[in-house]
Structure 1
Amino acid sequence: MLRRINQALPELLAGIVLYGVMLQVIGIWFVSDKEQYSIGLWAGVFLAMGMAVNMAIVIFDTVEEMAEGRSSRRASLYAALRYLAVVLAFGIVGYFKLGNVIVMFAGVMGLKVSAYLQPLTHKFLAAIQKKCLHGKD
């Protein structure tokens, strides 16, 4: 289903999760409050994944509307709502001290890192898929 919305979305989500796993494995050794670190990190990672899916759906809908000759301000509305949701999530986590807000920000930045590394992620996943389907070359 995700591939139907956007060809790069599954690879983008895989990159976000991989980024989160790397931060978890590396960072957990350097913090004193491991629980706050982990909760903040994974809250940020899931927030980044939600943002990626939302952006892909909005882009898909906007392209369809433009192809039909309709003009829509829905993309701007969803962008504003997306950022409002991010600010609200940060506010909830910070106010109730559910997790580390700085690490949560690092988790959200996984969306940016994954977007920049998506071409490499695509090559890596394509090579793995080719090996699995065609055997070792």
Structure 2
Amino acid sequence: MNEGKKTFQELLIGIAVFAILFFIPGLFLKVDKLAYYLGLGLGTLVSVLLTFSMYSTIEKSLYMDEKSAVSYTKRNAIFRLMLIIVVLLVAVYINSINVITVILGVLCLKLSAYMQPLTHKLLSKK
């Protein structure tokens, strides 16, 4: 398996771990549970979509000339940013979705990226 695909899988595992960690406090907090979990689910889904998009963008750009690759990666980065903005705006206007947990779900990707070296080390010990 190539390194890119392995890293991609490790990021997805990290997203799942952090989503579960953010799921647990919802069991004990006195908040609207449906809004909490809808927000967390939506944010986590966005994290997974962003990860797929980044992996796909990197894989495709490797086979392009430099100028095309730069243009393609910039365009996809803007798309990912716009996706986050649209999802957050939707969460703000739909009262049955907790905006804070949407943000936590989206941050699962960032946290997963920071923890990826550890995830790689743990999974490589097999």
For normalisation by structure 2, the TM-score amounts to: 0.88
Deviation at 1:64, TM superposition (A): 1.6
Aligned length: 124
When you count helix as a share of all residues, which structure comes out higher?
Answer: 2
Deviation at 1:89, TM superposition (A): 1.2
Identity rate of aligned residues, in percent? 30
Deviant stretches of 4+, over 3 Å: none
In structure 2, the residue corresponding to 1:26 is in which secondary structure?
helix
Deviation at 1:6, TM superposition (A): 2.8
2:67 aligned residue: 71
Contact kept? 2:26, 2:33, Cα under 8 Å = no
Give the unaligned 5+ runs of structure 1: 131-137
Contact kept? 1:93, 1:99, Cα under 8 Å = yes
Deviation string, structure 1 residues 27-47 (Cα, Å, up to 9, x no partner): 331232111111101111110
Deviation at 1:5, TM superposition (A): 5.5
Pair 1:39-2:38 in alignment: yes
Pair 1:94-2:96 in alignment: no
Structure 1 residues 109, 76: closer, same or farther in 2, change over 3 A? same
Deviation string, structure 1 residues 71-127 (Cα, Å, up to 9, x no partner): 211111111111111111111122122310111101101111000101111122233
RMSD (Å) for aligned C-alpha atoms: 1.9
CA distance in 1, matches of 2:72, 2:30: 42
Pair 1:9-2:8 in alignment: yes
Larger Cα-atom Rg: 1
CA distance in 1, matches of 2:62, 2:27: 42
CA distance in 1, matches of 2:4, 2:110: 19
Give the unaligned 5+ runs of structure 2: none
Q: Which fold has the larger relative contact order, with Cα–Cα distance below 8 Å and residues 6 or more apart in sequence?
A: 2
